[in-house]
Structure 1
Amino acid sequence: MSATTSAEHEEHPGRIMSGEMAQQPAVLRRILGEGAPRIREVASAIAAKKPRFVLLTARGSSDNAALYAKYLIEIRLGLPCGLTSMSTTTAYGARPSLADVLVITVSQSGGSPDLVASTQAAREAGAVTLAVTNNPDSPLAAVSEFSIDIMAGPEKALPATKTYTASLMALHLLVEGLRGGEAPAAGRLPELAGRILGRQDEVRALASRYRFAERMVITSRGYGYPTAREAALKLMETSYIPALAYSGADLLHGPLAMVDNVSPVIAVVPDGKGGKALQPVLDRLRGRGADLFVVGPAPQVEAASAGFVLPTEGVPEELQPILEILPLQLLAYEVTIARGQDPDAPRALAKVTETR
């Protein structure tokens, strides 16, 4: 880092991450306008091949986006769907038969060697391969039969923000395209995203509660679970707070024992079936006196210790994750700033992970 850049970071810590978070409404609008026709075209070509099974391949934030796609594919398409264990191919040399299988690889950079190698092996094994990436000229796109550009523009901050929500939107449009339909409700999201991001002062006040937190637990169910995982990742890679993400069902199977009135619990409560499934977990958490922070509908926030009311009226549950993560990105940013750290310079992190 140059002396000038270093001075800018000291004067305005987090300016890159903040700027990229603010771009998200425009990125979502771009995908819906410029990107949707290409996504529909790719979806139609893939649907014609009639895949019988879907495998998702990703790392980091893209892995959480892939988990969101898993829910979409299983619920909206009724297709069995799994997450790839890449080391079975890249480290152990396994070559499973993948005829009639759709392999979707999600990667912001499209340059991670293990993702490229795994996708190449899948194609050689007979899979239909699709790259969902922010770099249409990447090695990943080159080895894939099909590719989708998430159109987020250059992302310089190490914590992924706009590429995450762009990936969610692209994957949603893909799945709707595979169903032979469109996604009219998605058109509201850019405006709603702008409204949420405009409430940063509200999040800053909430963040002061967690400045000295030693750990956090984040939970959800259904479509909200990928959001919980992504929020935990954002908190850990910016503020270095150990953040554990659990499905609400898994939280009740043992980890609930570590919850007390000191360590904060963040609950992502979808407005729909996922939120109803999470209700017994919320009841148990309140019964244990947990410091409960809720992102979700107003009645759930009012029943918690603190929270952020999400504008979900008229937004289908499967689209809510694109909005749910926004206040949690802001929270990670504001907690990091409150702790005197720079979210633009998390230690020991790199944009492209060189794993095999």
Structure 2
Amino acid sequence: MSEQPGRIMSAEIAEQPAVLRRILDQGAPRIRDVAAAIAARHPRFVLLSARGTSDHAALYAKYLLEIRLGLPCGLTSMSTTTAYGAEPDLRDVLLITVSQSGGSPDLVASTGAARKAGAITLAVTNNADSALAAVSEYHIDILAGPEKALPATKTYTASLLSLYLFAEGLRGSDGAAAQGLPQLAEAVLSRQEEIRTLASRYRFAGRMVITSRGYGYPTAKEAALKMMETSYIPALAYSGADLLHGPLAMVDNVSPVIAVVTDGHGGEALQPVLDRLRGRGADLVVIGPKHQVDAASAGFVLPTDGVSEELQPLLEILPLQLLAYEVTIARGQDPDAPRALAKVTETS
């Protein structure tokens, strides 16, 4: 137990603006070089491999690569090679493996197998000396610094930004649109008192639903994981489209719903879902632009003006990290020491 509950998680959340600036100032040139080298090999398809929080970062990369570059992407099933011994033909396929520690044995084994099968392999980690970096042909260091809290926070946003810069590098862009993110992130994190007030809605929640569409969907999945691993509230993450296909029946005026509404095509696609939720009397909280928050029961207004839709996930997750922290504290628990859990792999 930490001396002050949540001390480690809180400090690592607060580090994120500095981490984003470090990536833009120090990491971006290396990321551009890696992207240029891989672009020259003209991969025909992309596979993404990850676990846990990194899996949500990989899903974000899937949206980026398919929308921004038109590259078809898929998420791997690692057991096909590690448990079943499958030998797929991966010539001209780019495999991106995202892992904060770079030490997960199944990720290392499956990446090594993919490289032998002809894949172009890229590891995205927080540890340049990791086994995953060693087995991969290319490596991107997300430069987040040591992360000690069980709930990953700064390594998630660092992974998102690194993957964004990589995707932009593949298309010959320098990713300059991301330059304002550190300052915006600092402004969002300075509004913790708003989140503390919002957290009072969830102190006694028995479950919650988190939904989004498009670029916001990885945010919904990551927010649900943060809520479950810190406060133990069962949090179910659904694409807005999937929510309408059955799970909507469990939504009532007791169980809260958090909608992550990106300002752009994803938010537009989510609008019918928001309308249905309001029609059911749901306790709807919106993380997104002001007009969407004003139409909900409550929410948190994001500074989306001038921020492209593909960059908004780096801001969307910040109030939700704080929410997981504040709900856990309000419930008398310590997010730094969740019961029966331990960090799977240390990141450095």
Matched, 1:271 2:266: no
Q: Secondary structure of 2:262's match?
A: coil
Task: Give the corresponding residue for 1:165.
Answer: 157
Q: Does 1:321 align with 2:321?
A: no
1:185 Cα deviation after fit: 1.5
Instruction: Please state if 1:79 is matched with 2:71.
Output: yes
The count of aligned residue pairs is 346
Of residues 82, 88, 95, the one that matches 1:96 is 88
Match of 1:239 in 2: 231
1:260 is the counterpart of 2:252? yes
Q: In the alignment, does 2:204 pair up with 1:212?
A: yes
> Of 105, 125, 133, which residue of structure 2 is paired with 1:141?
133
Three-state SS of the structure 2 residue aligned to 1:245 is: strand
Are residue 44 (structure 1) and residue 9 (structure 2) matched?
A: no
Check the 8 A contact 2:212/2:270 in 1, yes or no.
yes
Instruction: State whether structure 2 residue 273 is matched by structure 1 residue 284.
Output: no
Match of 2:110 among 97, 109, 118: 118
> 1:166: how far off?
0.1
Larger mean Cα displacement after TM superposition, 176-185 or 250-259: 176-185
CA–CA distance in 1 between the matches of 2:316 and 2:25?
22
Q: 1:330-349 maps to which residues of 2 (within 5 A)?
A: 330-349=322-341
Give the SS at the match of 2:338. Answer: coil
The Cα shift of 1:182 comes to 1.5
Question: Normalising to structure 1: TM-score of the pair?
Answer: 0.96
What is the rounded CA distance, in whole Å, between the counterparts of 1:73 and 1:181 in structure 2?
13
Residue 348 (structure 1) shift? 2.8
- SS at 1:209's partner residue? coil
- Distance in 2 (CA, whole Å) between partners of 1:119 and 1:216 is 35
CA distance in 2, matches of 1:82, 1:313: 31
Distance 1:349 1:56 in 2: 26
8 Å CA contact 2:101–2:345 kept in 1: the answer is no
1:353 Cα shift? 5.7
CA contact (8 A) 1:223 1:318 kept: yes
Amino acid at match of 2:76: T
Aligned to 2:177: 185
The letter of the residue matching 2:217 is Y
Question: Residues 307-343 of structure 1, C-alpha deviation per residue, up to 9 Å, x if partnerless?
Answer: 0000010000000000000000000000000000000
Q: Which amino acid aligns with 2:50?
A: A
Displacement of 1:172 after TM fit? 0.0
Letter in 2 for 1:207: A
What's the counterpart of residue 105 of structure 1? Answer: 97
Does residue 16 in structure 1 map to residue 30 in structure 2? Answer: no
Which secondary structure state, in structure 2, belongs to the residue aligned with residue 148 of structure 1? strand
CA distance in 1, matches of 2:246, 2:37: 45
Q: Deviations over 1:137-191 (max 9, x none)?
A: 0000000000000000000000000000000000000000000112111001000
CA deviation after TM superposition for structure 1 residue 41, in Å: 0.3
Residue aligning to 2:288 = 296
Match for 2:80: what amino acid? Answer: T
Q: CA RMSD in A?
A: 0.9
Report the equivalent of 1:70. Answer: 62
- The TM-score normalised by the length of structure 2 is 0.98
Answer whether contact 1:295 1:301 (CA < 8 A) is retained.
yes
Aligned to 1:202: 194
| Superposition deviation, residue 350 in structure 1 | 3.0
For 1:260 and 1:86, locate their aligned partners in 2 and report how far apart those are by CA, in whole Å.
37
| Distance of 2:198 and 2:297 partners within structure 1 | 11
Q: Where in structure 2 are there 5+ consecutive unaligned residues?
A: none
Percent of aligned pairs sharing the same letter: 82
Paired letter, 1:164: Y
Contact 2:65 2:71 in 1 (8 A): yes
Q: CA deviation at 1:99?
A: 0.1
In the TM superposition, what is the alpha-carbon distance from 1:18 to its structure 2 partner?
0.1
Corresponding residue SS for 1:210: coil
CA contact (8 A) 1:112 1:353 kept: yes
CA contact (8 A) 1:111 1:352 kept: no
Residue by residue, what CA displacement relative to the aligned partner does 1:239-261 show, whole Å, maximum 9, x if unpaired?
Answer: 00000000000000000000000
